[in-house]
């Protein structure tokens, strides 16, 4: 009779251990998925930062007209971000006929980039 209770207790402990291990497994799997998602997001954020740096260097700090090579570099960088709002505003900027429209577009682009970078940092 004692061995039945001992066997039952051991089986119960093993089942409880398996349930606990399964719980930890799924919890760790969820955390890993979140970390992978954050890691996958990181290159996209880098692309926004690269475009921002190019925009400041080639457009805002440039005294003269932006060269064709620089425009091509900027165009490729903005397309790499894969954000339709930023791309649309960039198109509006690059096709602008007046300085006022260009300045407003740049302000909007900077705000969109800042929002994208801020949201990717989780804040």
Q: Which of 122, 105, 119 is nearest to 48 (CA)?
A: 119
Report, as an integer, the average pLDDT of 87-97. 91
Give the span between the Cα atoms of 104 and 100, in whole angstroms.
Answer: 6
Residue 56 contacts residue 48 (beta carbons within 8 Å): no
Q: pLDDT value at position 1?
A: 66
Give the span between the Cα atoms of 111 and 52, in whole angstroms.
Answer: 11
Whole-model pTM? 0.62
Q: pLDDT value at position 42?
A: 66
Domain boundaries, the chain: 2-120
Give the span between the Cα atoms of 120 and 39, in whole angstroms.
Answer: 11
- The tens digit of pLDDT for each residue in 39-76 reads 776 666 688 888 999 999 988 888 888 888 999 999 99
């Amino acid at each position: 009779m004692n061995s039945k209770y001992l066997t039952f207790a051991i089986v119960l402990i093993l089942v409880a251990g398996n349930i606990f291990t399964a719980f930890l497994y799924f919890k760790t799997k969820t955390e890993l998925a979140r970390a992978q998602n954050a890691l996958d997001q990181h290159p996209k954020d880098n692309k926004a930062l690269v475009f921002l740096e190019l925009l400041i260097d080639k457009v805002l700090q440039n005294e003269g007209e932006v060269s064709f090579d620089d425009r091509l570099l900027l165009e490729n960088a903005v397309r790499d971000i894969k954000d339709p709002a930023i791309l649309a505003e960039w198109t509006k900027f690059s096709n602008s006929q007046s300085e006022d429209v260009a300045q407003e577009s740049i302000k909007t682009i900077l705000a969109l980039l800042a929002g994208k970078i801020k949201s990717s940092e989780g804040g």
